[in-house]
Amino acid sequence: GQQVMQIPQYQHVQEGEDFTTYCNSSTTLSNIQWYKQRPGGHPVFLIQLVKSGEVKKQKRLTFQFGEAKKNSSLHITATQTTDVGTYFCAGRGGSNYKLTFGKGTLLTVNP
């Protein structure tokens, strides 16, 4: 079945440093979504990428979808303490309904 791998598992940064998490799928995806889960909370949708090579920005967050639609990345510029949480990628394959989540990257930020 479809597998989504995400690295790194953990990332600790000083406030102001940049952060990147990477996502790789075992199969070609129809689209990929990113979610953020705060400690003790539930996943909250951030963005969806659909097109090959697509790049989207939300303030300090930059999301990329690979040309082969099998990998993706999330980059945060100048992290803030409010960025703390676990970032998950979730891919949709051919079925176009089931979201397969990566294991997530836990980001902690030292003020």
Partner 1 sequence: GAGVSQSPRYKVAKRGQDVALRCDPISGHVSLFWYQQALGQGPEFLTYFQNEAQLDKSGLPSDRFFAERPEGSVSTLKIQRTQKEDSAVYLCASTSVREVSEAFFGQGTRLTVV
Q: Which residues bind partner 1 (CB under 8 A)?
A: 6, 33, 35, 41-45, 48, 88, 90, 95, 97-104, 106
Q: Least distance from C-beta 63 to partner 1, angstroms?
A: 13
82 or 96: whose CB is closer to partner 1?
96
Tell me the C-alpha distance between 44 and 92, whole Å: 17
Give burial (CB, 10 Å; 0-12/13-18/19+) of 102: buried
Query: Which CB atom, from 84 or from 106, has the smaller least distance to partner 1?
Result: 106
DSSP 83: G
Nearer to partner 1, 59 or 97 (CB): 97
Quote the least distance from Cβ 10 to partner 1, whole Å.
Answer: 10
Write the CA distances from 61 to 18, 30, 65, 87, 110, integer angstroms: 10, 22, 14, 12, 19
Nearest distance from C-beta of residue 62 to partner 1, angstroms: 18
